[in-house]
Amino acid sequence: MINSSTLNLHKSGEVVFFTFPKIEAAGGCRHGFSTRLGGVSKGHCSSMSFGFSLGDDPDAVKKNFRIFSDAIGVDSDKLVLSQQTHTSNIRIVTKEDAGKGIWSERDYHDIDGLVTNESGLVLVTQYADCTPLAFYDPVTKTVATSHAGWRGTVAEIAAKTVSVMVESFGCKPENILAGIGPNIGSCCYEVDDPVINEIKKLSFLQRDKCYTEKSDGKYMLNLREVNRQILINSGILAKNIDVADLCTCCNSDIFHSHRATKGQRGTLALMISLN
């Protein structure tokens, strides 16, 4: 079993998942980032997978949502699934959205971040190498989750999520706890000039911590560090951020990884809900 020095590891039956220590310690909400262990999917999606468009049995996917919700202690009937297309668009979720994207049709598109202050609603974003972001303000009782691939990262979806929390729910950045989950690490994430040129547009970044250049003109990019710096630049305190130390590509036996499997994979999920 894989271990982490920065995340909390949990096992409920056959389900294995991680939580962010600072968010967990604050109390008042439940959350979890899945592994590929403990579900009912078969083949390349085995076994805990949450993707409806990857060749998996839809009934198995729905059962996985039920199993994982039970494991982390949230109401599966109140799940709200984003419709991710690598944007920086954020949706404020209300009780009318409960079940959308899983149990009922959704009336929203191109949404990569979800925010709510309503208890019981379960915000869901999906991953297979991209960067998972979780947010919790224990003062205003507001939660959020955002999906940050490299496009969403350079569009500063992390900062835009914070802005929605501040502008719509009265949050103060210094009160927000944030988690950056397992993703493809700088050990495995090779990119070229077009990606790095977009990263360079974020003028506040300490670039030497964000990527290293290889001899062949390629770069190894650390999206966890880029998002950490974006969160700090948005006003979140460094001491309030948990950063995962696990690479999904290196650990494709534990996590679904798009790059490790050349697209033959399932999908991980980050869920968060106010008690």
Summarize the confidence of residues 169-176 as an average pLDDT.
98
What confidence score (pLDDT) does residue 1 get? 73
Residue type, 191: V
**pLDDT class for 138, splitting at 50, 70, 90?**
very high
Closest C-alpha to 261, from 55, 67, 115, 14? 55
> How many CA atoms within 13 Å lie on the side-chain side of 185?
14
What confidence score (pLDDT) does residue 2 get? 86
What confidence score (pLDDT) does residue 97 get? 98
What confidence score (pLDDT) does residue 176 get? 99
Q: Under a CB-based contact definition with an 8 Å cutoff, are residues 149 and 102 in contact?
A: no
What confidence score (pLDDT) does residue 38 get? 98
3 state DSSP class of 101? coil
What confidence score (pLDDT) does residue 198 get? 98
Summarize the confidence of residues 105-134 as an average pLDDT.
98
Q: Is the pTM of this model over 0.95?
A: yes
Q: Under a CB-based contact definition with an 8 Å cutoff, are residues 153 and 131 in contact?
A: yes
Q: Under a CB-based contact definition with an 8 Å cutoff, are residues 134 and 270 in contact?
A: yes
Please, what is the average pLDDT of the chain? 97
Task: Please name each of the domains of the chain with its CATH number.
Answer: 8-184+236-274 (3.60.140.10)
Q: Between these two residues, 136 and 215, which has the higher pLDDT value?
A: 136
